[in-house]
Amino acid sequence: MSEISTKPQSGMRDFLAPDVVRRRHVLAVVQRVYESFGFQPLETPTIENLSTLLGKYGPEGDQLLYRILHRREKLQRALASGAPTEIDLADEGLRYDLTVPLARVVANYRDLPAFYKRYQIQPVWRADRPAKGRFREFYQCDVDITGTTSVIADAEVMGAVAAVLQGLGFADFAIHVNHRELLRAFVTAAGIANENEGLALIALDKLDKIGRDGVLQELAQKGFANDCGEALLHALEQAREPGALTRMAATEGPFQAPSRALAELLAVAKDGPAAKHAIFDPTLARGLSYYTGPIFEITCKGLAGSMGGGGRYDNLIGMFQKKPVPAVGFSLGLERVLLVMEERGMFPPLCIGPQVLLCRMGDVPADAAIRVATRMRAQGLRVEVYADAANMGKMLTYANTIGAPFAAILGTAELAQGTLALKCLATGEQAATPIDDASMFVNKRS
């Protein structure tokens, strides 16, 4: 019998106490900031119908969906009747992002506010090849506003994400901003047919990862003429020059309307948290096919790839109901944020484990130790009771192992007097302290 592997699946992780505490720290900031902007929480199921998920992410995104096969009995019946391949038997899948589930919710619940502002912090799954800071299971922290085309909504989701990063201590991040209609105008001007726009944008979306030559090579592999790829990249590089956005906004033609929309968005955003971080980036593509207007992406110095992104998707909710519902959102990738914060040492001191190890001497009844620990916890202390009867040296060694800064020694004499021998393990200071004053001793020396 082969040995069973105890490692988590590739691209998935176990989170031990230090990891969990750091994640909770970041998520607490995310939740506080999002709620300060008026966003309401939402959670949706892990599993969605494939009909809900397919056709929303483009051909490459659809290939990364985790499909769930029928239950055993249905699968057996399907195979017995000469059913198609297994992948065709799947009718459910794990959610790929949090935006499509939101669109389903908005279409399903007709009593939501006219302007529905929601935030959602949950894991998503992608059948991708893991890389540094990228996983098959990861958390997204989304903010979205539905029901309005106002530029205020676009500026608010940008501002909320910027405020989160500022609250975590980031200063050197950039929010790249572009417009899907502007990209469409560039693609058309380069001689690329409308039906091939999606394929061109998927290749362009990898510009920061594979470079100019890599994008040209991928476009060629997809069947695009080399002069079309060169024309597209050259035009986008020219649009990066100072003043290009203003010139396009002032010139009649297909570039004017989206350029004006971007100029207005950047002007509105300058009075919010995103003011110093928002920049126009004509090469920004965002590979998902449901975007219709402004698109966003966050980069940070020293990190390959982005920490999050989003955009306007005015047609997605309409795919689930007959009337169109405008929407805009921004997603922050928790794992990428944690990675940068860890590498930069940005985490403040965080409490992990118990503050006090209660060391019960062998002649003290177990129920007495539980009573004392309960009184200490009522004072707001985090207390672990050493479970076994052991000598003092072993118990103090264990306290150091778990990082408990204090030990509370409970013998029969202390129990009779209603006291504890409280010891600060960092300094060696020890004092007899009434049980109900234990928090005073600990807090004064913490």
DSSP code of residue 5: P
Q: List the domains of the chain with CATH numbers.
A: 17-44+97-344 (3.30.930.10), 47-94 (no CATH), 356-445 (3.40.50.800)
- Condensed to tens digits (0 to 9), the pLDDT of residues 301-359 reads 888 788 999 999 999 999 888 788 999 999 999 999 999 999 999 999 898 899 999 99
Assigned token pair, 267: 């002007």
- Condensed to tens digits (0 to 9), the pLDDT of residues 167-214 reads 999 999 999 999 999 999 999 999 888 888 888 888 888 888 888 889
Looking at the chain, the whole-number percentage of residues with pLDDT higher than 70 is 95
Assigned token pair, 376: 């200490």
- Of 102-111, 129-138, 218-227, the one with minimum mean pLDDT is 129-138
Taking the CA of residue 304 as centre, how many other CA atoms within 13 Å lie in the half-sphere pointing to its CB? 10
Annotate 175-199 with b (16+ C-beta within 10 A) or e (fewer): bbbbbbbbbbbbbeebebeeeebeb
Mean pLDDT, the chain, as a whole number? 91
Instruction: Please state, in angstroms and rounded to a whole number, the distance separating the CA atoms of residues 263 and 240.
Output: 14
**Predicted structure pTM score:** 0.88
- Of 254-263, 286-295, 337-346, 378-387, the one with minimum mean pLDDT is 286-295
DSSP letter string, 386-446: --S---HHHHHHHHHHHT-SEEEEE-HHHHHHTEEEEEETTT--EEEEEGGGHHHHHHHH-
HEC assignment per residue over 35-57: HHCCCEECCCCCEEEHHHHCCCC
Q: Does pLDDT of 437 surpass 60? A: yes
